[in-house]
Chains A and B, each alone.
Chain A
Amino acid sequence: MTQLAFVIDLKRCIGCDTCVVGCKVEHRLPDGAFRLQVFDAERAPTPRRPQGGHPVASQNWLPTMCHHCSDAPCADVCPTTALWRRDEDGLIVLDKDKCVGCQRCGEACPYDALSFDAHTGTADKCTACDHRRDEGPACATVCPTGAIHFGDLHDTDSNVHRLLATHEHRRLNESSQAQSNIYYLAP
């Protein structure tokens, strides 16, 4: 069974927000709308300011979008089945024509990964660029340091499988039991 997932290498992320811009351009998101964010402030488990000093300084950032959870709380609470987990690839799909804008999903999501489109009155979120599956998600394509990887966790030939097999990794807020499908490699 396929389970598509992101692997994000925190060592490689330089906080340039190119992924954010790539996502906005690909999906033509209006001003103020995001499906992907890069945190460097108090909500993220990374230092707000650079640590250390020249020549030994470091800073980390945390890109995050819909985690396409295997047991997604958003899909569980959605009263209209607008959000659902697709068996074929494990992605969480949002059918906007069924969404009534109750925002229960945003409340339930342990990652605050659902945004709200005030123009359409519906939820909005990362689709993992479902419409360009062969090319991969725009965020991964445009990342100048190659920090974002995407693929099938269960495919032993996939890049994400290989990275997780060989690198220390974590998921955010694991006690939520949502079973996130964004894995982070050590900063």
Chain B
Amino acid sequence: MNLDAPLVIVGGGQAAAQLCERARRLGHRGPLTLVSDEPLLPYCRPPLSKQYLVGQHPPDWLLYRPASFYERHGIETRLGRRVVSIERERHEVLLDDGARLPYAGLGLALGARVRRLGVPGDQHVCYLRGFDDVQRLRAALIKARSVVVIGGGFIGLETAAVLVQTGRRVTLLASEATVLPRVGAPLAAFLQRRHTAAGVQLLTHCRVTEVRVHDGDAGFDVLTRDGGVHRGDVVIAGIGIVPNTELAQAAGLACDDGILVDDCGRTSDPHITAAGDCTRHPNSLSVGPLRLETVHNAVEQARSAAAALCGRVDQPYRQAPWVWSDQYDLRLQSVGVFEAIDHTVQRGRPESGAFSLLHFRAGRFVALEGVNRPGDFGVARRLLNLGLGPTPAQAGDDAFDLLDLLPPKRPLVFETPWPHRHPGSHPTNA
């Protein structure tokens, strides 16, 4: 691609910002416009359900890159503007204010939106996805003494953890038999114990059927299929997200529960790349294409997508996906693809509050989940990216140092030789 030709990036998250940043780093000099339907510059979403929810941080604290970054790199930002259509034949995008932006390359980082409960009374429920959501929720929480959290995934658990620590009464309703049903059973059980010990009333097998305004005051009743009624001043739901693919679909791009891209982020149109939560992409650790809802995916996939957008040599995105979650004094980290696992080995003990689960498929190390064992996580992430890993026997041996499996560290060298100095000479020091 001509590096002086215009690029348009659509999105308001980390993938969008990374697309812009990487394009400039790769030498793109032409007009570069970022269009986001949110009022903020691209920002980091993970803190919204963690420290930002109850903390004192200003909105700028969330920004992925400060405003000066966009100015310095000549990136025009159109915030609060929505792309209503992609006109592929004309190489233009049409904005909701009628403006048309021509492009030689288009980067889509459309993200995802919350999956809604879809039950009577849904309008009373707070969701947690964007900056506006959290501002509304923070306002609602000011007078709230009790909260019902619907959803036993990361968002629900993180939200429950931060709120119960503020002294509020928290009820968490999980629809499955455990929280985080896709993680290892020991980890799910450990987390349930931790939340219960912290004071969260954690209920499983709870299917919400309705949310009603409580008679007589401003609170709400959450009704479940088993006949339960759970009272809260505020009701929050975190039950997953849905990729924003409508714009791409309407433009005729191939989509299937995500915009389909190759491992360089290319869509079915060679002039359009996509990255982040909105995509489905191949991964060597997975049997089929993956749609990932992680920061890691947003940032790293966008790097590859930007290279494709700028016509650079392919820089395929082939990394083990990873995610983290902070709850209480626990740091959960997982890496790899949790498919068809047939063997799991534990390192450390849950009773100690620090342990890892190493997962294998047909004898091959494919994933790790850890609680307060960041060292294991860091090594596992590197090993998986290198196609390496411990054997089950090594994994189960606490005395075996996983670090020993990594290649040697790079040497520190002066690449330009120093001038020859005669032995015994003593050049004058300054």
- A residues with a Cβ closer than 8 A to B are 9, 11-12, 39, 42-45, 51-52, 55-56, 58, 62, 64, 77, 79-81, 87, 97-98, 100-103, 106-107, 110-112, 116, 118, 121, 162-163, 166-168, 170-175, 184, 186-187
Contact = CB atoms under 8 A, between A and B. Distances in A.
Interface string B51-77: 100000000000111001000000000
Contact of B423 (A44, A52, A174): A52
17 contacts: A11-B429, A45-B414, A79-B296, A80-B44, A98-B47, A100-B46, A100-B331, A100-B333, A101-B378, A110-B410, A118-B374, A166-B430, A170-B416, A170-B418, A171-B414, A174-B416, A184-B414
Interface of B: 14, 44, 46-47, 51, 63-65, 68, 295-296, 299, 322, 324, 326, 331, 333, 372, 374-375, 377-378, 381-382, 409-416, 418-419, 421, 423-424, 427, 429-430
B412 A116 contact: no
Contacts, number: 104
A87 B409 contact: no
A1 B14 CA distance: 29
B322 A102 contact: yes
A121 B429 contact: no
Contact of B374 (A77, A103, A174): A103
Given A102-B324, A103-B381, A118-B375, A173 B413 contact: yes
Nearest to A55: B424
Given A80-B46, A101-B374, A186 B424 contact: no
Contacts of B413: 45, 172-173
Given A100-B46, A111-B412, A173-B413, 14 more contacts: A43-B409, A45-B411, A45-B413, A56-B423, A58-B423, A100-B324, A100-B333, A101-B331, A102-B296, A103-B382, A110-B410, A163-B430, A170-B418, A186-B427
B412 A102 contact: no
Contacts of A173: 410, 412-413, 415
Contacts of A102: 296, 322, 324, 333, 377-378, 381
A65 to B, nearest CB: 12
A175 B361 CA distance: 39
A171 B324 CA distance: 36
A12 B429 CA distance: 8
A43 B418 contact: no
A175 B423 contact: no
A39 B412 contact: yes
Contacts of A166: 430
Contacts of A58: 423
A80 B295 contact: yes
B412 A44 contact: yes
Contacts of A170: 414, 416, 418
Nearest to A44: B412
Contact of B377 (A56, A101, A112, A175): A101
Nearest to B325: A100
A52 B424 contact: yes
A79 B430 CA distance: 43
Contacts of B296: 79, 102
A81 B47 CA distance: 12
| Most A-side CB within 10 Å, residue of B64, B377, B381, B415 | B415
A42 B51 CA distance: 43
A167 B410 CA distance: 27
A45 B423 CA distance: 17
| Most A-side CB within 10 Å, residue of B63, B65, B322, B412 | B412
Contacts of B411: 42-43, 45
B378 A187 contact: no
Given A80-B295, A87-B68, A116-B374, A172 B414 contact: yes
Contacts of A98: 47
Contact of A64 (B64, B412, B416): B412
Contacts of A168: 418-419
Closest 5 CB pairs of A and B: A103-B378, A56-B424, A101-B374, A121-B374, A170-B414
B375 to A, nearest CB: 6
